[in-house]
Amino acid sequence: MPQSNSPRPRRPLQGVRVIDLTKIVAGPNATRMLATMGAEVIRVEWHDQRALDLLRGVRPLVAGGDGDNLNRSGLFNNINPGKYGVTLNMALPQGRDLFKQLIAKSTVLCENYSPGQMDRWELGYSELRKINPRLIYLQITGMGKSGTYDNYVSVGPTAQALSGLTHMSGFPEPMPPAGWGYSYLDHSTGYYGAILVLAALFRMKRTGLGCYLDASQTETGIMLSGTAALEAQLTGKATTRYGNRMHSADWAPHGAYPCRGTDEWITIAVQNDDQWRALGDVLGAPDWTRDPRFANASGRKANEDELDRLLAGATRLRDRYDLMDRLQSRKVPAGVVQKSSDRAERDPQLKHRGYFVQLPHSEIGSWPVEGFPARFSNLTADVGGLPGRAAPVMGEDNDYVYREILGLSSEEIARLKEDWII
Amino acid sequence: MTTDALLTSALEGTVVEVGGEHGEFAALLLGSLGAEVIKLEGRAGSNSRRLGPFTTPDADPEHSLFFSRYNLGKKSVSLEVAHPASRVPFDRIASHADVIIDSGDRDGVAARLGLYRMLQAANPRLIICTITPFGLDGPWCDLKMTDLTHLAMGGVMASCGYDPTPEGVYDTAPIAPGTWQAYHIAGEYAVISITAALNLRELTGEGAFIDLSIHEAVSTCTEVALPTYLYNGAVVQRQTGRHAAESRTRPWLRRTRDGRYVKAFLFWGGHERRVITEMLNEAGVDHDLETDSYKELVKRSPSEANSHFNHMIDRLAASMDAEELYHRAQAKGLLWASVRYPEENLEDPHFQARGAFQPFDHPELGRPLYYPVSVATDGKNRVTAFDRGAPRLGEHNFEILTRFGFTEAEVDAFKTAGVI
């Protein structure tokens, strides 16, 4: 360690520069994690259809602005805090030259263009490693670039369907799959992408080697399909759905039950006889809770349809949080189906832990951003990252990046702007 | 590690896994990146050994696929961490560790915090990660939780389920998509935290203490739900097989000729409309999308025209099997996919070529089973893998304890005393 009086570093990725060519949610979630851990993440964006991050225009939007609305999406702001932003026209050779100069001075490249786009620009890994041999290049695509699907295209829902996750969610046939009500695999693949880069950075520190990582959203979904594919190999039977029931154990009741109010629900998961007796007590010991068919786990599991019907009748008039408190005081696992409004306004735990982080944005003011779900000693993990702010507006850091990192003069920067390159 | 995959030597070092099933996925991922994972699971074995499916009819804890899925490549020591006499072997194993993962209800984990403080004082390089339902403090920190209740409280379920009735009334429950997703999400965040701490340790020589909350982890994983409320004050409404939204959107799931589904994701753009019309023509499906009357309808009532177009997509889907429609749609550049069963990907040459699955022997079956082990390649081969399957309970007692200086006689004495 060099001798100096500077404070001990606390950001794990101090000195790591990440060029972020990602869009929508999966790639940007990966770079969000890297920014939280202290990397200098630079988003590279442009105004045309191919390069523009469509998320910049996605609802919810903050009212006002000049009409193009590129800097007013709440979703974009939540997914991209802590990052720097530049504009760069990659469709022009001069733009690609600047991009290569950035790569020469960076540690990591993350991109999620459709497979093949970077090769068409002659910016694939084999080209870029000539410029920067230690480069860690993470590419995220729906199915994965290598293999037999290289022209296939995907968004989160596509990958969820192919992986099996859509099929596995919901009530059994004849009900259709419920699937996921959002792009779960945009989140998960982002987390995986961050893990792969963090592991590759650790390896690079030890060995000096860079690498190319071709991550697949669909494979992430397959990885998250639990034991389904194994069970199918074992039994020869196709994977089916189980609603909210516990397929792997005799836990019953195990589901979501209606409560007082409109579309209010509580989940209850009884894992043993003690919890079953406590549930009966909390409900005021109605006769059916003493039905001998429900006296033990296998009986409850065998009569789960009837059990669910009776329990739903008993929860229907209860207040959901009050019932949760009463069940929890008897150590019965129970949790309210919290809506976004509940988590934002009511959830005392998220408040206590400082889950929402208020961050300034250069155009729309200060907004709460979802935080990182762990507290650390010795280590700074903050979603505002190095710039200490929410998402960048288009081209917000052109001056910083082109002047201070690439060493261009004001005249050169002005000319690049005029030539529609930055 | 003998397995030859790009990142399987990335994290050389030792991870000690203590506690419940909440941390098993995190330790599994660290193992897939090359760490040696020593699992201290107690004499009764991990809870997940009692979760099915089982490969034998007797529900033998040695034959749980649930356990084997989440414990590939690990080494099992049946050390009873709560036994007073376990302190000496525990300290010795832990003092050689790079990372300790401890998970479960807060009270159980909190009982070991004093011990961890002492271990970290003796070994400042040690990284400790606790994974508990709500973190180590706060008004809800002692609530009893499961995967289901976490997906409820964290907001996932409020976005997943089925359309309401035409009158706008929800008559079906919100859905917790299976399985173990709360622990998957928490595990991914734990590994992000731990690998970040390993990187920091390269700079400072010091480890870190990480207090991870499963509830917060799940909460971060609901995409547009919180921003929609925070910015617009609106609560997204769940819908069948597609994104929850502020207002109703058109369906994505289409029933195909073979009784399966295709997810026909659409932006409703001009290119998509053109190629869907082409596909109807190619499949010989009767339609009127090229007639003057349809073109007039588009002008007169775009919304009625969309409903009609939507109906034609149903017709297209009903004319062929899901896999055929998937490949035909992709050939036209549509973002569509067959709604597969997870196991159907085992037969797909694409995922075979990428090495997404790795076989592990199951002597009780006389054949191997193929496990998902990797989500990425290096351009050709998978980047993560395991060099063996899941351990039998206490399989590595002798190997690990003798490695850390205990004699054979001492290991036997631990056994007799009920320490292992």
Rg (CA), chain A: 26
Alpha-carbon distance A410 to nearest alpha carbon in chain B (angstroms): 35
pLDDT-derived band at A37, boundaries 50, 70, 90: very high
Supply the pLDDT for residue A5. 58
Give domain B6-222+353-416's CATH superfamily.
Answer: Crotonobetainyl-coa:carnitine coa-transferase; domain 1 (3.40.50.10540)
Q: pLDDT digit string (tens) for A56-88?
A: 999 999 998 877 789 999 999 999 999 999 999
Q: pLDDT digit string (tens) for B279-335?
A: 999 999 999 999 999 999 999 999 999 999 999 999 999 999 999 999 999 999 999
Interface predicted TM-score of the whole assembly (ipTM), two decimals:
0.98
- Residues in A closer than 8 angstroms to B361, CB to CB, are none
- Residues in A closer than 8 angstroms to B229, CB to CB, are 339-341, 344
Q: Say whether pLDDT at A399 is over 90.
A: yes
pLDDT-derived band at B179, boundaries 50, 70, 90: confident
- Residues in B closer than 8 angstroms to A368, CB to CB, are 230
The closest alpha carbon to B279, from B328, B230, B241, B336, belongs to B328
Six-digit token string for B294: 């349809």
Q: Average pLDDT in the B411-420 region?
A: 97
- Residues in B closer than 8 angstroms to A141, CB to CB, are none
Three-class DSSP category at A397 = coil
* Chain B 256-285, residues with CB within 8 Å of chain A CB atoms: 261-263, 265
Alpha-carbon distance A396 to nearest alpha carbon in chain B (angstroms): 22
Six-digit token string for A181: 């009500």
Rg (CA), chain B: 26
- Residues in A closer than 8 angstroms to B196, CB to CB, are 12-13, 37, 198, 379, 381
pLDDT-derived band at B124, boundaries 50, 70, 90: very high
Q: What strand order describes the sheet that includes B261-264?
A: B253-255, B261-264, B336-338
The answer to whether B197 contacts A12, with C-beta atoms less than 8 Å apart, is: yes
Q: pLDDT digit string (tens) for B91-116?
A: 999 989 999 999 999 999 999 999 99
The answer to whether B378 contacts A214, with C-beta atoms less than 8 Å apart, is: yes
Q: Which of A145-154, A371-380, B2-11, B31-40 has the lowest mean pLDDT?
A: B2-11
Supply the pLDDT for residue A16. 98
The answer to whether B340 contacts A75, with C-beta atoms less than 8 Å apart, is: no
Q: What is the mean pLDDT of chain A?
A: 96
Alpha-carbon distance A241 to nearest alpha carbon in chain B (angstroms): 8
Alpha-carbon distance A398 to nearest alpha carbon in chain B (angstroms): 27
Helix (H) or strand (E) holding A335: strand A334-336
Q: Is A225 exposed, middle or buried (0-12, 13-18, 19+ CB in 10 A)?
A: buried
The answer to whether B342 contacts A348, with C-beta atoms less than 8 Å apart, is: no
Of A167, A200, A202, the CB nearest to B340: A167
Q: Which of A111-125, A170-184, B122-136 has the lowest mean pLDDT?
A: A111-125
Of A188, A336, A374, the CB nearest to B210: A374
Q: pLDDT digit string (tens) for A309-322?
A: 999 999 999 999 99
Three-class DSSP category at B374 = coil
The answer to whether A353 contacts B228, with C-beta atoms less than 8 Å apart, is: no
Is the fold of B6-222+353-416 the same as that of B249-339? no
Written out in words, the top-level CATH class of the domain with range B249-339 is alpha beta
Supply the pLDDT for residue B92. 95
For each of the domains in chain A, give its residue range(s) and CATH number, in order of start: 17-223+354-418 (3.40.50.10540), 254-258+265-336 (3.30.1540.10)
- With a CB cutoff of 8 Å and minimum separation 6, the contacts of B320 are B256, B257, B283, B328
Supply the pLDDT for residue A6. 67
* Portion of chain A with pLDDT greater than 90, in percent: 93
Strands (E), B25-170: 36-40, 75-77, 99-103, 127-132
The answer to whether A147 contacts B202, with C-beta atoms less than 8 Å apart, is: no
Check: CB of residue A71 under 8 Å from CB of residue A65: yes
The answer to whether A375 contacts B211, with C-beta atoms less than 8 Å apart, is: yes
Compare all CA atoms of chain A with the CA of B10 and give the residue at the minimum distance: A203
Alpha-carbon distance B317 to nearest alpha carbon in chain A (angstroms): 15
The answer to whether B200 contacts A191, with C-beta atoms less than 8 Å apart, is: no
Q: Say whether pLDDT at A297 is over 80.
A: yes
Q: What is the mean pLDDT of chain B?
A: 96
Q: Average pLDDT in the B368-388 region?
A: 97
Alpha-carbon distance A418 to nearest alpha carbon in chain B (angstroms): 33
* Chain B 198-237, residues with CB within 8 Å of chain A CB atoms: 198-200, 202-217, 219-232, 234-236
* Chain B 372-401, residues with CB within 8 Å of chain A CB atoms: 372-380, 383
Supply the pLDDT for residue A3. 47
Q: Determine if the pTM surpasses 0.95.
A: yes
**Structural domain boundaries in chain B:** 6-222+353-416, 249-339
- Residues in A closer than 8 angstroms to B193, CB to CB, are 374, 376, 381
The closest alpha carbon to A121, from A94, A148, A145, belongs to A94
- Best residue in A80, A145, A158 for a mutation probing chain B (most B CBs within 10 Å): A158
Q: Say whether pLDDT at B211 is over 80.
A: yes
Supply the pLDDT for residue A67. 73
- Residues in A closer than 8 angstroms to B203, CB to CB, are 9, 12, 14
Does the CB of B10 have a partner CB in chain A at under 8 Å?
yes
Compare all CA atoms of chain A with the CA of B70 and give the residue at the minimum distance: A226
Residue position matching structure tokens 């065998």: A302
* Chain B 99-128, residues with CB within 8 Å of chain A CB atoms: none
Supply the pLDDT for residue B253. 98
Alpha-carbon distance A317 to nearest alpha carbon in chain B (angstroms): 16
Supply the pLDDT for residue A2. 43
Of B211, B222, B369, the CB nearest to A234: B369
Q: Say whether pLDDT at A4 is over 70.
A: no
The DSSP letter of residue B327 is H
Chains A and B form CB pairs within 8 A to the count of 515
Compare all CA atoms of chain B with the CA of A243 and give the residue at the minimum distance: B175
Supply the pLDDT for residue B1. 43
Does the CB of B150 have a partner CB in chain A at under 8 Å?
yes
- Residues in A closer than 8 angstroms to B343, CB to CB, are 164, 228-229, 232-233, 238-239
- With a CB cutoff of 8 Å and minimum separation 6, the contacts of B14 are B35, B36, B37, B38, B96, B97, B98, B99
Q: pLDDT digit string (tens) for A88-98?
A: 999 999 999 99
